[in-house]
Amino acid sequence: MFQRKSLMFALLLASSLVTLAACGGMNPSEETQTTERNEASLSTSAIPSWFRHIPLDWGCDQTLKGRFVGRDSAHLYSFPGKVGYRYTFSFKGTHPAAHGAAIAVYDSQSGKRVALQFASRNNSVSLQYTAAQSIKYLVGVFSIFPYTTGNYTLSAKCELTKYCVEYETTDDQGNPYNNFYAINVNSYAEGKKHLAIVKYFINEAISNGSCASQGTMCPLLYAPVCTDSPTAQTEYGNVCAFKVHIRQTAGDAGQHKGHWDKGQCSAEGKFCGGIAGIQCPDGFTCVLDGNYPDAGGKCTKITCDPKKEWNRNYVTTDKNQCALIRYTCPTNTTHFSNDCGCGCEQAASCPEYFNCMPGPGATPCDTNALLAKCPYSKIAW
């Protein structure tokens, strides 16, 4: 009887060893070596060589399903990241909790790790990462203890952290100044508050993502404009291309603005006037060679523009009339004259807008006193 039981035990043990080997069992030295391998993956900043890349389409609010099988317990997935978004990656496995779980995010361009989160005694883990660049990232998931088997899910949630506010300013009558602004803000509400302070604007938009991540495509139609950015007398094929430059210069966290005039920058010295009455582009004036009705002349760049000079009140925009008329300027303003005409201007220290917006700790504005000191400024309510 004893011999029969011993034989049955030996057969059972042998069967168990065969089953263990078939399921990916390993000897002590192999276990130590591979455990060290996965520990190294927690300390290295580069993508470990034992990750297996799995080419699947994956993005926001999507969940992947995968499976670890023995040695194949470290997978890598591509993910399209965009500046202005915060991502939450969540992993949940069915393998033994004691085998642990980890998520790592890598920059696909440099191969360096940018984020890591792991649980040494759990088969689920989550990680949050705010994109530093609008590039493809690689998201790796693995069990800390190798040679594990089990199904898993990997999901991605996306949350906006940047918005781009853009607009063109006008005077209080709605006449455009041809000024374009692009500003990064942290919420839609912050964007609305900014526009409320500006008050006079057209073509406004509050778009998801940072200004640098907005569209860069423009129509092929050539309608040249002359601008002041990045330097004076910079020419673009159309207004759209100029706005793309402003957005890109504002980047992911800053702001930028610029002014444009219709037409080519090379209008200086070109023929104007004549029988056809040829006009100069915005920002240029036609200096005639004579006084007769069909006299010709040349375009000369002007350094003033009544539409943009909110701090001035032009009495006339005909500089030849300035010597013939008399006018009195209001209190706290002074006389001025230039190539565009003459009138009254307020002190350079006066802002375009007085911010009287309500808010925590705000003190009510004395609007009468403010406008008495700066009569051409405006009040933002």
Q: What's the whole-number mean pLDDT along residues 259-280?
A: 83
Query: Does 286 have pLDDT greater than 70?
Result: yes
Secondary element (H or E) of residue 63:
strand 62-68
Distance, CA of 288 to CA of 299 (rounded, Å): 9
- Name the residue with higher pLDDT: 236 or 24: 236
Shared domain for 45 and 110, answered yes or no, is yes
Task: To the nearest 10°, report the CA torsion of 169, 170, 175, 179.
Answer: -30
Query: Is 239 within a domain?
Result: yes
The pLDDT of 15-34, averaged and rounded, is 38
φ, ψ for residue 148, nearest 5 deg: -110, 160
Of 163, 208, 166, whose CA–CA distance to 185 is shortest? Answer: 163
Domain boundary pick from 134, 160, 186? 160
Q: What is the structure's pLDDT at 289?
A: 81
Q: Which of 18, 151, 136 is nearest to 72 (CA)?
A: 151
Query: Do 367 and 324 belong together in one domain?
Result: yes
Predicted confidence (pLDDT) per residue in 314-328, tens digit: 999 877 788 888 999
Inside any domain, residue 252: yes
In a domain, 168, yes or no: yes
Would you give the DSSP letter of residue 343? E
Largest CA distance in the chain: 135
Same domain, 371 and 329: yes
The total number of structural domains that make up the chain:
4
Q: Are residues 318 and 330 in the same domain?
A: yes
Residues 141 and 50 in one domain: yes
Domain match, 291 and 314 both: no
Q: What percent of the chain has pLDDT over 70?
A: 86
The whole domain housing 294 covers 268-302
Whether the Cβ atoms of residue 93 and residue 143 lie closer than 8 Å to each other: yes
Is there a single domain that holds both residue 65 and residue 104? yes
Which of 124, 143, 160 is the last residue in one of the domains?
160
Mean pLDDT of 197-211: 92
> 36 in a domain, yes or no?
yes
Per-residue model confidence as pLDDT tens digits over 68-125? 999 999 999 999 998 888 999 999 999 999 999 999 999 999 999 999 999 989 999 9
In a domain, 275, yes or no: yes
Token pair of 277, please?
């009455």
Domain annotation covers residue 255: yes
Single residue among 137, 160, 183 that ends a domain in this structure: 160
- Do 248 and 295 have their domain in common? no
Mean local confidence (pLDDT), 181-192 = 93
Verify that 37 and 125 share a domain, yes or no.
yes
Q: Are residues 245 and 275 in the same domain?
A: no
Q: Which amino acid is present at 366?
A: D
pLDDT for residue 36: 52
In terms of domains, do 347 and 315 share one? yes
Residue 135 pLDDT? 92
Q: Which residue has the higher pLDDT, 317 or 155?
A: 155
Q: What is the CATH number of the domain that holds 46?
A: 2.60.120.380
pLDDT (0 to 100) of residue 68: 97
Residue 296: strand pairing partners: 273
- Between 129-138, 184-193, 268-277, 323-332, the lowest mean confidence (pLDDT) is in 268-277
CA dihedral 374→376→377→379, nearest 10 degrees, is: 110
Whether residue 138 lies inside any domain: the answer is: yes
> In this model, does residue 240 exceed pLDDT 70?
yes
pLDDT surpassing 70 at residue 183: yes
Residue 10 CB partners (closer than 8 Å, separation 6+): none
67 and 91 share one domain: yes
Average predicted confidence (pLDDT) for the chain: 84
- Per-residue confidence (pLDDT) for residue 288, from 0 to 100: 80
Least confident of 11-20, 277-286, 365-374: 11-20
User: Does any domain span residue 228?
Assistant: yes
User: Would you state the pLDDT for residue 276?
Assistant: 80
Rounded to an integer, the average pLDDT of 290-312 is 82
CA distances from 345 to 210, 303, 329 (A): 38, 16, 8
Provide the pLDDT for residue 12: 34
Point out the least confidently predicted range of 36-40, 370-374, 375-379. Answer: 36-40
The closest alpha carbon to 144, from 77, 107, 96, 76, belongs to 96
